[in-house]
Amino acid sequence: MTAGKEAGQAWSAPYQADGYHDAGGPLPAEAEQLWEVNAGWWQEAFTAGADAEYVEQIIPLLAEQLRSVRPGRALDIGCGEGQLSRVAAGVEGTRHVVGVDPTRSQLSVALERTGAGTDEEPGTGGAAARGPEGSGPEGSGGHGMSGRGAGEAAGARVTYARASAASLPFADASFDAAFACLVFEHIEGTAGALAEVGRVLAPGGTFVLLLNHPLLQAPGSGWVDDQILGEQYWRIGPYLVEHHGVEEVDKDVWIPFVHRPLSVYVNAMAAAGLYLTRMEEPAPPEGFLARADEYREAAAFPRLLMLRAEKLARGR
């Protein structure tokens, strides 16, 4: 029995049982362990060209946003195995990319795929640390992780640190750009995490947030082919209600999801001094639509939302 299967059996019954968890309240801390257990699933299914939405949509969209600002220092929040950190390293003008993630299983693969080998150093790999050298979030081991390889080929250095979005181990104004891709819908404490983004960005810095579309991907949403009424439509679940739960996204693979209305993200960004400058709702890419005939029926409904914001140069 695999670790993922064991975790699936452990989590399925409690989280499906009525009354075990209030969907309006935060998930217990142990829900975060599911990312550690299911890191291999993510690495196999969504990286290294395995997923059409990343290849055809997410990667080009992020690269386009970063190219427009040419950030010298960029932060990848929830970097996983470093796929987008390496993309950022290939953007002209980028000198240093730091990826942070709380999951050791992801960071170890990030080091391998970035060509870091055993290169390890104290601190955060050159980004300014909060407090003494080597300090970081509890449980980080006091080490950043430095890698070259893919980043070095593009002229940028790529380093990694174990940290959560809610507690970034960097000094104020450390980065010219920050981005988070399919991260914030899986974590608690959005307002605090976005406040951290605002803190570590330099004045005028750029933040790119990519999410599962909060409206069209709300719990219970999906394509409906009503054979009785002869109608086809996209059903939208209870959008205005925050929902904190664990979902089985693949066989025996359970992942925490937190649904929030879009206004929660936008208002938290505004409170953090981040003002919205661009919003995109791209149609699903061809590679995704080609997976099943029914997907094409829902081609006019976006799965992804991108918000781009700039940090106010002066306090309000």
- Do residues 180 and 77 make contact, with C-beta atoms less than 8 angstroms apart? yes
Distance CA 54, CA 60 (A): 8
Distance CA 110, CA 117 (A): 10
Q: 98 φ, ψ to 5°?
A: -115, 125
| Each residue's pLDDT tens digit, 253-303 | 999 999 999 999 999 999 999 999 999 999 998 888 888 877 888 888 999
Q: What is the helix (H) or strand (E) element at residue 147, kind and residue range?
A: strand 143-147
- Nearby residues of 4 by Cβ (< 8 Å), 6 or more positions away: 37, 38, 40, 41, 252, 253
Out of 18-32, 78-92, 277-291, give the one with best mean pLDDT. 78-92
| Each residue's pLDDT tens digit, 205-226 | 999 999 999 999 999 998 888 8
* Percent helix, strand and coil across the chain, each to the nearest 5: 30, 30, 40
| Each residue's pLDDT tens digit, 35-48 | 999 999 999 999 99
Our measurement of the distance from residue 141's CA atom to the centroid of its chain's CA atoms, rounded to an integer in Å, reads 23
pLDDT grade, residue 154 (50/70/90)?
A: low
Tokens of 13: 């019954």
C-alpha separations of 261 from 31, 39, 166, 239, 273 in Å: 22, 27, 20, 6, 20
DSSP character for 17?
S
What percentage of the chain has pLDDT greater than the value 70? 80
Interhelix angle 262-271/190-200, rounded to 10 degrees, is: 40
Distance CA 281, CA 304 (A): 6
**Where do the domains of the chain lie, and which CATH numbers do they carry?**
3-311 (3.40.50.150)
- Higher pLDDT: 83 or 130? It is 83
Distance CA 210, CA 135 (A): 29
